[in-house]
């Protein structure tokens, strides 16, 4: 059995830099036509000049062997200026601005502390420039239970933001709860959308602890209850145009995951399309897979759909236990397991 679809794009991808970048970029480039590249490096990508330089590094690491196009983003801080948003739009390489609440996830210490105060002029300029705001939707208040942080963020931040700036294009990244699904579905189509990861479609929070602590399933936002997973699956397999593919693939060296204080992030680029196909097949919705992977994202961003095709062949293949690089190794999602759908680009 084979399934041919328009080549997908990844609307939420971490490529890191240096040796990690060189180790992982080909896994995305072999399958995806474009990817929104997240800016939480050290130091973060806060200016258009830095975004252009980072893009050059990505393209250099590909050595001209692919048609993969990185779509760059800026890291929003309390000091970002409206003029920087104008420069970003004029550059032709920046396609969004990422909101990390300070302390919410990996390398978010430089994130926003005062969205409705210091950042309001920037948000207003983003409306003028039709520049999407890409949101890590969690509050960081230590008094809020980690499993409730997305729901509280919606009530405290997102709802007031949409009311204040109804024309701002917003992507709620890596949604994990029934609350997020309902919120996105309640918003005007074309203004608010959401990306969904393979891990949040396939796994629930039991997957963090089955057979012992599973550090390679640990990500932020953290995996949630089975009822939330089912709500997300129902949303994406319904054909709703507000939801589209965003892997949030986040590579870390094995030693930084398997340690006393492990990093958050699931490295799923090598298996993402296989897992999305599995989820849609189990839901009886393979006919809706192409829209989720290949149409809804570019339509929301106002970009052309890919014309190249990719084929998903139903043939068992085993996921490698790890991927080695010069300084160590990276453990992928579903390491050592057998998956049923194998994607490849026809020559």
State the catalytic residues. 12, 14, 98, 136, 174, 248
Distance CA 277, CA 77 (A): 37
Tokens standing for residue 27 = 């896994």
**Residue given tokens 């931040």 in the structure block:** 157
Distance CA 205, CA 218 (A): 9
Select from 283, 172, 183 the least CA-distant residue to 236.
283
Give the strand pairing for 192-196 and 243-245: parallel
| Contact assessment for residue 128 and residue 97, using Cβ atoms and an 8 Å cutoff | no
Give the angle subtended at the CA of 65 by the CAs of 61 and 66, to the nearest 5°. Answer: 95
**3-state SS, residue 21:** helix
Tokens standing for residue 59 = 């393209």
């Amino acid at each position: 059995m084979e399934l041919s679809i328009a080549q997908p794009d990844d609307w939420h991808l971490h490529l890191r830099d240096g040796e990690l970048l060189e180790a992982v970029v080909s896994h995305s480039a072999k399958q995806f036509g474009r990817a929104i590249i997240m800016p939480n490096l050290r130091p973060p990508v806060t200016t258009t000049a830095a975004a252009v330089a980072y893009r050059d590094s990505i393209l250099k690491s590909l050595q001209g062997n692919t048609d993969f196009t990185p779509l760059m983003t800026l890291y929003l801080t309390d000091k970002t200026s409206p003029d920087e948003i104008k420069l970003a739009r004029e550059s032709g390489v920046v396609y969004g601005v990422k909101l990390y609440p300070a302390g919410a996830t990996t390398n978010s210490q430089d994130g926003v502390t005062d969205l409705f105060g210091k950042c309001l002029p920037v948000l207003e300029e983003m409306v003028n420039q039709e520049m999407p705001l890409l949101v890590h939707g969690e509050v960081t208040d230590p008094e809020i239970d980690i499993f409730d942080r997305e729901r509280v963020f919606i009530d405290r931040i997102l709802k007031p933001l949409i009311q204040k700036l109804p024309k701002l294009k917003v992507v709620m990244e890596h949604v994990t709860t029934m609350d997020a699904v309902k919120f996105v579905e309640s918003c005007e189509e074309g203004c608010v959308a959401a990306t969904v990861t393979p891990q949040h479609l396939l796994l629930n929070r039991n997957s963090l602890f089955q057979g012992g602590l599973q550090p390679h399933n640990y990500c932020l936002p953290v995996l949630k209850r089975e009822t939330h997973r089912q709500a997300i699956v129902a949303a994406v397999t319904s054909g709703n145009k507000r939801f589209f593919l965003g892997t949030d693939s986040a590579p870390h060296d094995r030693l930084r995951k398997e340690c006393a204080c492990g990093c958050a992030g699931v490295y799923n680029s090598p298996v993402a399309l296989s897992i999305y196909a599995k989820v849609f097949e189990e839901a009886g919705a393979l006919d809706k897979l192409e829209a989720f992977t290949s149409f809804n994202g570019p339509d929301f961003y106002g970009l052309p759909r890919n014309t190249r095709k990719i084929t998903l062949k139903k043939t068992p293949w085993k996921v490698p236990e790890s991927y080695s690089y010069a300084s160590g190794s990276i453990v992928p999602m579903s390491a050592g397991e057998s998956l049923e759908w194998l994607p490849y680009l026809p020559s």
